[in-house]
Amino acid sequence: MVHLQNYLNQLHKEGKSKKTIGNVRGFLSVLFKKAYKTGYIKNNPALELTVPYAAKPKTEVKFFDTKNAMKALALAATMGGHYESVEWLGILAGLRKGELAGLRFSNIFVDDGLAELHIVETRVAAGGKVFEKDPKSEAGRRVVQIPEILAEMLRKKRYQYKLL
């Protein structure tokens, strides 16, 4: 058993991924399970193996600085349509791209002195398809307060949208 664990540890030192090491452990487990069932061994040593891994360091959350925000807004303005308001939502409200894609007018509250967004679903792309889903955790379901300048822009966009 010690030799098998050392082998997995060596794979980790060589930089193999956690998934690859897990696959090797699974393969060993299947082999030893078969040997156990046929009576060649008295127990399956692979059941006690652990997959070594190093926790990934937390990455710092990066926001647009003023210069890059202005570039993004200028680019969105040249594209026309609804892109500018999406850029403003991302910059001023701090929404993630899946939250932006999943945001609906029914979750935007900008009337009667209220200026907030309710994040209740996201959209993600996988395998060439787009899926709507709930946020990964309860913490992902949140209410985001927005500044009045963004609320006014969203009021105008909602009005334009209803006229179309």
pLDDT tens digits, the chain, 164 residues: what are they?
788 889 888 988 888 888 888 888 888 889 989 998 999 898 888 888 888 876 666 666 565 667 777 777 777 777 766 667 777 787 778 888 888 888 888 888 888 777 888 888 888 888 888 888 887 777 778 888 888 888 888 888 888 777 65
The pLDDT, as a whole number, for residue 81 is 60
The pLDDT, as a whole number, for residue 105 is 82
Burial class (CB in 10 A: 0-12, 13-18, 19+), 112: exposed
**Residue 127 falls in which region: left (phi positive, over 0), alpha (psi -120 to 50) or beta:** left
pTM of the predicted structure, to 2 decimals: 0.49
Both tokens assigned to 31: 């082999």
The pLDDT, as a whole number, for residue 88 is 78
Helix (H, G, I), strand (E, B) or coil at 41: coil
What's the rounded Cα separation, in Å, for the pair 118 and 102?
A: 11
66-79 vs 83-93: helix crossing angle, rounded to 10: 160
The pLDDT, as a whole number, for residue 74 is 77
The pLDDT, as a whole number, for residue 163 is 63
